[in-house]
Structure 1
Amino acid sequence: MTVTPDSGHLDRVGYLFGHPIAHSMSPLLHQTVYEGLGLKWAQLPLDSTDMDHFLKLIQDPKFYGASVTMPHKVAILKHLDSLTDEGRDVGACNTIFTRLDPTTNKRQYIGTNTDVVGIRDAFYENISDADACFHGRPAMVVGGGGAARSAVYALTKWMKATKIYLVNRDRSEVDAVIKECTQRGFGGELIDVASVAQAEKLEGPGAVVSCVPNFPPRTDAEKEARGVLECLLAKQHKGAVLEMCYHPSPWTEIAELSKKAGWKVILGTEAMIWQGLEQDKFWTGKKAHDLPVERVHEVIASRLDESRI
């Protein structure tokens, strides 16, 4: 049975809807923003797979929006009144916000995807010269899940990647990424880099997004994929690597390999923070510079330090 968090003490209420969500720092991030703005708001965790219950909760007049995570990012789409371009293009929603319909004056529930913005802003907020670092160069995505699709979107739409190398242990997952991204109109030139021999012939990338868990390669396919990654990191041009994995620690094997190879490493918490701040822009109506950005970074870093003790 789903336990409904108490919201009686709040002026406005939001939810983090997903399962499992015990390790999520989303409520902490947003609480830091609301405290900084002097708002009596909160994002309450709703660890649940009960879609009907969630849909009832968001009818509350105090509801301002929700973060939607797995396994609901696709399932929620049919329950929304409309989608932003990002939500529609990616085909997954991680954010719900509300607006009043000017004709009917009824509240509309709108879905968007800020994961893609988080990836984009993690680079642009940490790289001073994007032209020298990654604009107009190939990019590389390691992995084959939802985060890999978001990375392809950001690299193609905003980050001026000329082509994207896909590196993964599972060829069928790569095929699925290529097929889906192409069907959705942001495939660009996607190249399945399946071997070190193939990687040796390629131009070096500028932006790299790693979307795989932090574990050492064990199978032959995993070792080949790691070899491809190391080969491309060893190319002459050194750009920036966004390591999306940050739990339980943001410093991973791939982060260490990248640093030793001379690359700038951007921690995955950066993508998480910037996608969350993008959510709060929708929910509060504030611009990014009006949000307590520095304080959010401090609080998230502190929480990570606590988790390592």
Structure 2
Amino acid sequence: MLSRRCGVLGDPIAHSLSPTLHRTAYAELGLDWAYDAHRVPAGGLEEFVSGLGPQWRGLSLTMPLKREALALVDRSTDRARLAGAVNTVVLEDDGTRVGDNTDLPGAAAAIRERTSAPLATAVVLGGGATATSTGLALAELGVGSVELLVRDASRAAETVAALRSHPAGIDVRTGSLDAPDALVADIVVSTVPAGAQTSALVERCAAVPVVFEAVYDPWPTPLAASASGRTLVGGLDLLVHQAALQVELFTGRPVAVELLRDAGERALAARNPG
């Protein structure tokens, strides 16, 4: 029987919890599959994929490869095309590459796991591929107005276009990460690194009742640490929900989200003892 291989690709990649989550899932399913992390810089995805053998079944993609991957698949799902980004590639036995985006449904599920509150307005910090998928997830949950806070509006053009293309016809605006005004919204989503979360930016978010921090390591980020008393959706929540969807796409079998969360929490605790 052909032994299967899967992996996560990106740059940087050493921090990724995906190997822990997928290996846990495969063990639970009784599958002797391999899953490893591979450092692949921007522009290197095509070379990596072209060298894969028939034992390869699936790829998880992280920054900076999600948008690059869209042009390299033979077929893509509606949600991948809507996001303009692929974070999951299923390698069929006939060589067909199928691109999907599990970040979008994963983000929606992560939010709804933590809150059932109605969401109409949102602020998203950052304008990259993760901002796109989470913004689209918010639109799926009923958000009709999204403000993207960025340092360079031109770099968020793809995200703005993707959000405006959502069938719900949401209102999308851009603003500055460095502006001084307090933010007013039902939810704030951060897709920026912890190091970019200045005290001034964190203070701007203080009145927003739901905080979604897409980063899971380091944890807590300044924004997450400030969310005491408010609803907090963490990066691990997003990671485990999208990973469970990936596992099912790769193997054809479901796995419990809680199993993956427990594995992720143990791995993070081992990285950051005390």
Deviation at 1:91, TM superposition (A): 1.1
Q: 1:187 to 1:210 in 2, by over 3 A?
A: farther
- The counterpart of 2:49, out of the listed 23, 44, 55, is 55
| Distance (whole Å) between structure 2 residues aligned to residue 264 and residue 75 of structure 1 | 34
- The counterpart of 1:252, out of the listed 221, 229, 238, is 221
| Distance (whole Å) between structure 2 residues aligned to residue 175 and residue 74 of structure 1 | 13
Q: Is the 8 A contact 1:10 1:40 kept in 2?
A: no
Write out per-residue CA displacement over residues 232-284 of structure 1, whole angstroms, 9 at most, x where no aligned residue: 42xxxx3x2111122122x121112222xx31112111101111111011111
**2:99 counterpart of 1:111:** yes
Give 1:4's aligned residue: none
| Distance (whole Å) between structure 1 residues aligned to residue 65 and residue 221 of structure 2 | 28
Q: Which runs of 5+ in 1 are unaligned?
A: 1-8, 101-105
Q: 1:134 to 1:210 in 2, by over 3 A?
A: farther
**2:274 counterpart of 1:300:** no
Give 1:134's aligned residue: 118
Give 2:252's aligned residue: 285
SS of equivalent residue, structure 2 residue 50: helix
Spell out the pairing of 1:1-309 with structure 2 (5 A cutoff). 11-49=3-41, 50-60=44-54, 62-99=55-92, 106-127=94-115, 130=116, 133-135=117-119, 137-156=120-139, 158-173=140-155, 177-182=159-164, 188-194=170-176, 195-197=179-181, 199=182, 204-215=184-195, 223=200, 225-230=201-206, 232-233=207-208, 238=209, 240-249=210-219, 251-259=220-228, 262-287=229-254, 291-309=255-273
SS of equivalent residue, structure 1 residue 125: helix
SS of equivalent residue, structure 1 residue 276: helix
The range that moved more, 29-38 or 208-217, is 208-217
| Distance (whole Å) between structure 1 residues aligned to residue 234 and residue 76 of structure 2 | 29
| Distance (whole Å) between structure 2 residues aligned to residue 11 and residue 66 of structure 1 | 15
Deviation at 1:45, TM superposition (A): 2.2
RMSD of equivalent CA atoms: 2.7
Letter in 2 for 1:58: L
Letter in 2 for 1:252: T
Q: Is the 8 A contact 1:21 1:45 kept in 2?
A: yes
| Distance (whole Å) between structure 2 residues aligned to residue 186 and residue 58 of structure 1 | 39
| Distance (whole Å) between structure 1 residues aligned to residue 136 and residue 113 of structure 2 | 18
| Distance (whole Å) between structure 1 residues aligned to residue 157 and residue 250 of structure 2 | 36
The range that moved more, 27-36 or 181-190, is 181-190
Q: State the TM-score, normalizing by the size of structure 2.
A: 0.86
Q: How many residues align?
A: 269
Q: 1:165 to 1:77 in 2, by over 3 A?
A: closer
Deviation at 1:178, TM superposition (A): 2.5
Deviation at 1:185, TM superposition (A): 6.4
Q: Which runs of 5+ in 2 are unaligned?
A: none
Q: State the TM-score, normalizing by the size of structure 1.
A: 0.77
Q: 1:134 to 1:193 in 2, by over 3 A?
A: farther
SS of equivalent residue, structure 1 residue 70: coil
- Report the identity percentage: 29
Letter in 1 for 2:56: F
Letter in 2 for 1:134: P
| Distance (whole Å) between structure 2 residues aligned to residue 217 and residue 47 of structure 1 | 26
Deviation at 1:304, TM superposition (A): 0.6
Deviation at 1:183, TM superposition (A): 5.5
Letter in 2 for 1:255: A
Q: Is the 8 A contact 2:9 2:37 kept in 1?
A: yes
Give 1:5's aligned residue: none
| Distance (whole Å) between structure 2 residues aligned to residue 263 and residue 161 of structure 1 | 19
